[in-house]
Structure 1
């Protein structure tokens, strides 16, 4: 068997750490999964525990009972430890970015995997995954905090990155720009004056401050109002499935990648 492509990560994980990304995949791409014949989802680099892959499987089965999930890890010991938790529709395999699966996956989730690589390497692995995803599929790549209260992810298809989503628990930050530390590797070093992502986070902080009086009704209302304020100057998603109040009330905001493409 060829050597898996990639490097072993720290493997830190835990219960519910990736619930925000799972909820977004189920809500935004549930129809994509239900409309496919034998939909396959890959959880790439699930870490030292099978937990987040199993949770993803259970959540996606709730919106698509026929979905199959394969957790892929580059560390043989981690794969061996996960094998006892396999069940119909859920399996674990040794591998890396080459994705050792029998057909192109409709969804690839890769969280906290590219954080250890350089920006140029991250772009390269994005290109590799884009070649392996199904023609109408999606790659969800990002990072999150240790307990999952802050998360940012990019969604890509075969043509390239399409959207960026910021998601946070309302008591998990002081101001929206706190999420900058969780930007994907392709953006995290671009959060400097003159770059679009820096301007967006600056304007998000401003919208958050302007809508501070709504905090008396709860942080959820303040977040929703801030998203509405941002929509006046930024092309944030305002309609389902990826935008609008139904997503904003969950502590999410999504905008097209074209709005924050690095210069």
Structure 2
């Protein structure tokens, strides 16, 4: 069981990214089920996830899953159409295969060598790719207590796809400040010789080179830094996401031991 710290609006950056990048998959599904795995001591993140998903997929349903029975009982009064709470863990106790599993601040208490097995187990529960669909999505990551800094890995049924760094730009001194929020699979790899360390070093250099753009605001400086970063790193998103204080990179470029 985690500490269960659950501040309202804590996961807004992750939720907005999910709605923007996975909304089409949710809209196409007959029964788009999303799981908020390990929602914590209060149900706010599950409630908020439902509201944000329904802006892009009106039929979306959310099931909050918690390993602590008392937390499930406390959340039950918040159930309504499209929102339910279940006792469970990595087995994901829902009928069928969900199109989304969000696991925020869950794996931080585990050892690094346990992550791959957990990812594999959760990915096996996702809706499979079929008929032009890429299948379900697992989003696993870590953020600070009020959601200013967040890093997550997106995985499909086939495994990890991308890593996204997201921040409130007004609070950022340098991109490497996000290192403290790397997910468990990467946080111990932020050392010289590892790809994620090299990426954050290059991002800091691009940020420093983009300092003249700071006069137009932190957003313009971030956009310029990401544009420069693309010369050496497989950035997979567009300026529309960069404007939100995000950048997404292919997992293969940051995976441990790939450089």
TM-score by length of 2: 0.96
Supply the distance in 1 between the matched residues of 2:137 and 2:156 (Cα, whole angstroms): 5
Name the counterpart of 1:50.
43
Shift of 1:172: 2.4
Give the corresponding residue for 1:200: 199
Deviation of 1:37 after TM superposition, in Å, equals: 1.0
Is the counterpart of residue 15 in structure 1 residue 15 in structure 2? no
* 2-structure distance, mates of 1:126, 1:107: 13
Q: Per-residue deviation at 1:171?
A: 1.9
Q: Residues 1-263 of structure 1 correspond to what in structure 2 (within 5 A)?
A: 8-135=1-128, 136-237=135-236, 243-263=237-257
- Helix, strand or coil at the partner of 1:98: coil
Q: CA deviation at 1:13?
A: 1.0
Give, in whole Å, the separation in 2 of the partners of 1:159 and 1:52. 27
Cα distance in structure 2, aligned partners of 1:154 and 1:226: 21
**SS of structure 2 residue aligned to 1:104:** coil
Partner Cα distance (2:52, 2:248) in 1: 21
Runs of 4+ in structure 1 over 4 Å off: none
2:124 and 2:234 map into 1 onto residues whose CA distance is: 28
Q: What is the CA–CA distance in structure 2 between the aligned matches of 1:39 and 1:211, rounded to whole Å? A: 42
- Structure 2 unmatched ranges of 5 or more: 129-134
Aligned-partner Cα distance in 1 for 2:109–2:119: 14
**What residue in structure 2 maps to residue 240 of structure 1?**
none
CA RMSD of aligned residues (A): 0.6
What is the CA-CA distance between 1:209 and the residue it aligns to?
0.3
How far is 1:173 from its partner? 2.0
Q: TM-score normalised to the size of structure 1?
A: 0.94
Distance 2:126 2:183 in 1: 19
Supply the distance in 2 between the matched residues of 1:261 and 1:58 (Cα, whole angstroms). Answer: 33
- Please give the per-residue CA displacement for 1:187-209, whole angstroms capped at 9, x wherever unaligned: 10001111110000000000000
